[in-house]
Amino acid sequence: MKIKKTKNFYKNKKVIVTGGTGLIGRAIVKKLCDYNAKVTVISLDKLILDKRAKYIYGDLCSFDFCKKITRKTDYAFHISGIKGSVKATLEKPASFFVPLLMMNTNFLEACRINKVKRLVYTSSIGAYSSMSVFKEESANIEKSPMDMYPGWAKRMAELQIISYKKQYKLKNYFVVRPCNVYGPGDNFDPKNAMVIPTLIRRIYRKENPVVIWGDGSAIRDFAFSDDVADGVINTLIYGTGKYDFLNLGGGRGYKIKDLVKALRSFLNFNYKFDSSKNSGWPKRVMSIKNSNKIIKFNPKTSLTEGLQKTWDWYITNSKEFVKRKNYLSE
């Protein structure tokens, strides 16, 4: 990363980060504050994580609120979203789809109206249609996304930005698609957590054995939040080249068996795979070749190191999720 240029680029700039108390957002906020940016965090979580930033509690589903907060803003990172398991998206599709559509449409339009100079929208691997290795050049907008409801909501925001570029020439509005991101500040709500926080929580609670759905053969791409934050921050500077978006992945795929092995390298627990349960898609891995070329994206955190940092954070913050907005409870 060209750290010196990054620091100079953000110094004294007014930057807004939606979802700045979430997994990726909090890592972005810390880095921007380190770069001496004037950071405003927008969140529905009743958390203040970095005293150098200003925190505003409010709902992006309100267009008037979005217009108010984006006035006199230089740059924007739209990270807000609704995170949950595949099971949760199937059981409560409207709780994902409707708020995502509203907050994305409102915030992006408010940024356009208030002439925010640069913006990055954080989409998702779930916006891709089904394939084993996800490449930007292989994306097909005519095929349905893998994660049906949140995937379509993310796609709509991506199209909104594409339409802005075509009609309003907003060439500095960009999109990234991260893979399965994990790290400090992840969603540990037992009702809708993803695989890594679910495993960590069960180990912490000393379940014996820790039961894991599937046979462990499914391959997934995991990226540590701090690495992804670097990618998002540098996308705002360098853009996405000829692509509508850039992938932000971990750089390789891991079997769920490998994930368990990495956890057992520093934690002592018993486990068993429940092969009667569906393992999900056999393989979901991102290519980061284009990201590496365009924004010099090169994840540095190994899976074991990232898991250790996530565990260390969780054992002192295991109840944080109760302070965070949960659309799925409504």
pLDDT, averaged per 10 consecutive residues of the chain (330 residues), comes to 73 97 97 98 93 97 98 97 68 81 96 98 94 92 84 93 96 97 94 92 97 95 98 98 97 96 98 91 94 97 98 94 65
pLDDT of residue 96: 76
pLDDT of residue 84: 60
**Domains of the chain, residue spans:** 7-329
d(CA 309, CA 328): 27
Second-level CATH architecture of 7-329 = 3-Layer(aba) Sandwich (3.40)
d(CA 305, CA 72): 40
Distance of CA 242 to the CA centre of its chain: 22
pLDDT of residue 83: 65
Residue type, 28: I
Helices 3-10 & 225-238 angle (0-180, nearest 10): 70
